[in-house]
Amino acid sequence: MTHDTDTAADPRFAALPTRPGKVIAVHLSYASRADQRGRRPAQPSYFLKPSSTLAPTDGVLVRPAGTELLAFEGEIALVIGTPAHRVTLADAWAHVGWVTASNDVGVYDLRAVDKGSNVRSKGRDGFTPIGPGLIDARTVDPAALRVRTWVDGVLAQDDTTADLIFPLAQIVADLAQHMTLERGDVILTGTPAGSSVVRPGSVVEVEVDAPDAAGSPTSGRLRSRVVEGDDVFDETLGSLPAVDDTQRAEAWGSREEAGLPPLPRPFALDDDLRAKLALTPVAGLSAQLRKRGLNNVTIDGVRPLHPDQKLVGLAKTLRFLPHREDLFASHGGGYNAQKRAFDDVRPGEVIVIEARGESGSGTLGDILALRAQARGAAGVVTDGGVRDADAVTAVGIPVYTVGAHPAVLGRRHVPWDVDVTIACGGTVVQPGDVIVGDADGVIVIPPALVAEVVEAALAQEEEDAWVADRVREGHPVDGLFPPNEEWKARYRAWRETN
């Protein structure tokens, strides 16, 4: 590798062939980090950092005065060797000249106003240590690189590019379809789980290597020492540092690591409540909700593929929009919202689909029904059609639909988003609502009411069964159904002795 003259004279760029024209960073790329954050992107997204943010190894990281949350992010840095513009996925890696270690440092105190651009939070001088050595990209497999980070000698991050959501070559090819990547440009490829906050006095070390390649090439240890800065922000110029518990949890990696109390646990159906709901007819639940002023809680127009099966679970929502060609082109392909919903559904959840009552195409087929079953889903409710209806029925998972249709999704729908409030079959469904279905239909129960409603419905079922026995004995329904005070007294006496 040859250095430009000005690069060799400037220690910030000593590890690089030239001062980069662009430093591009990926927001979220490792599955371990996505799992930690609780969100997995469908496509890679990026932000730009100035080349003045680069720093040499054995340098210092300055935590700005008045800030709290300086976080390290050990990353694999790609250095472009030959210009790339509109290259294919197969050819993209050939334009990467070198691989090295980097630390995409950020101050979470300054993120709020940046809104993802990271100009203030990650663009400061010295916030991208890089180096010390370069690995020849031709000698390594981009799917078998490793990045590790140590804080004060303790291993904090350890992951490989096999865990990437978006392969390195895809990132290069994607960027190259939007801009020309020039020799020396740096791509920071995202950080795995384990990124956290460091304080003045700590030493952060990052190393990238290819342990399975010949000679086990390595970047060497990129070492940075954290110090306290004495610069002061001018409140008359712009945003000042500010933190909240959300930023603290993200900077530290979790609420627990940040020393914050856990958030209230979301509503969960325990085994006892689930069993009671399984015993309670939807008609009885509907009557009890009506008594409490909730009349529009049935998902109308849907029928079960398995009328003999009971459906009980918590709603996971999926929303389709009416078909529009340009929107389907941008949202319908790849890892779209429909696929994400079925991949992410948790045991005991019911996938509830808003399809606007449009039955002119399928909203799921046998493959997705199998995926829901494999994930432990309680069932699927859609106010749209089902494709491969016989095969979906054969899977055995409870499915409610307006009917069968052979057409694929793109005929009528665009898969749009998940885990949002939707309208299904004429009623509102929110993520986490309790869904119960039987041969009569499907009902939506607010979690705050479910325990009260199911107890009342079971009590009513017992009373109705006693009334039915009296009718079988020959008693007329007048005064018995519903029971008047005399029959209520008889029922109470019966309960006391039975």
pLDDT tens digit sequence for 176-191: 999 999 999 999 999 9
**Same domain? 466 vs 354:** no
Is 279 inside any structural domain? no
Q: Is 185 labelled as part of a ligand binding site? A: no
Residues 333 and 361 in one domain: yes
Q: Find out whether 76 is annotated in a ligand binding site.
A: no
From 198, 223, 252, the end of a domain falls on: 252
Co-location of 12 and 139 in the same domain: yes
Q: What six digits make up the tokens of 332? A: 């319908």
> Is residue 270 in a domain?
no
In this structure, the answer to whether residues 455 and 441 fall within a common structural domain is: no
The answer to whether the annotation marks 184 as part of a ligand binding site is no
Judgement on whether residues 247 and 385 belong to the same structural domain of the protein: no
What is the model's pLDDT at position 4? 62
Question: Within this chain, do residues 156 and 14 fall inside the same structural domain, yes or no?
Answer: yes
Domain co-membership, 359 together with 424: yes
**Judgement on whether residues 44 and 127 belong to the same structural domain of the protein:** yes
CB 413 within 8 A of CB 384: yes
35: which residues sit within 8 A by CB, 6+ positions away?
193
Q: pTM of the prediction?
A: 0.64
Domain with residue 88: its CATH number is: 3.90.850.10
Q: Is 365 annotated as a binding residue?
A: yes
Task: Say if 493 falls within a structural domain.
Answer: yes
Distance from C-alpha of 192 to C-alpha of 159, rounded to nearest angstrom: 6
Residue 326: which domain range? 296-445
Reported as a single tens digit per residue, the pLDDT across 70-113 is 999 999 999 999 999 999 999 999 999 999 999 999 999 988 87
265 falls within a domain: no
Assess whether 225 and 163 both reside in one domain: yes
Q: Is 388 annotated as a binding residue?
A: yes
Render 203-241 in DSSP notation, one character per residue. EEEEEEE-TTSTT--B---EEEEEEE------TTTSPPP
Looking at the structure, do residues 174 and 313 belong to the same domain, yes or no? Answer: no
Same domain for 198 and 163: yes
On whether both 109 and 172 belong to a single domain, the answer is: yes
Cα(412)–Cα(322) distance, integer angstroms: 6
DSSP 142: T
Say whether 387 counts as a known binding-site residue: yes
- Using 50, 70 and 90 to split pLDDT, how confident is the model at 40? confident
How many independent structural domains does the chain possess? Answer: 3
**Is residue 373 in some structural domain?**
yes
Assign 2 a pLDDT band (cuts: 50, 70, 90).
low
132 lies in some domain: yes
In a domain, 264, yes or no: no
Q: Is 260 domain-assigned?
A: no
